[in-house]
Amino acid sequence: MKENILIPKPNSAFLNIQCSKCGENNIIYSHTTSNIYCKSCNELIAERSGGKAKINGNIISALD
């Protein structure tokens, strides 16, 4: 099955996240290695988990 895939797509992406507390938009990496806090209200919006980050805000879109 994998032989048919010419160019594989990565499992990670940059995400546009909206803070659930203040509504501020932040761009983060989906597999971040550190905790990410909102730029305006300092609320935790992404927790590191050793793989894909645990997102605490609302995902608006994935950036290509």
pLDDT tens, position by position, 24-42: 999 999 999 999 999 889 9
High-pLDDT (> 90) share of the chain, %:
56
How far, CA to CA in Å, does 22 sit from each of 18, 35, 41, 45?
8, 18, 7, 11
Domain range 11-63, its CATH number among 2.20.25.100, 3.40.50.2300, 3.30.470.10, 3.50.50.100: 2.20.25.100
The pLDDT value recorded for residue 26 is: 92
The structural domains of the chain, with segments of one domain joined by +, span: 11-63
The per-residue pLDDT for range 4-20, each reduced to its tens digit, is: 768 878 889 999 999 98
Strand order in the sheet with 14-18: 25-29, 14-18, 58-63
Instruction: Dig out the tokens for 12 from the structure.
Output: 């990670």
The answer to pTM > 0.85 is no
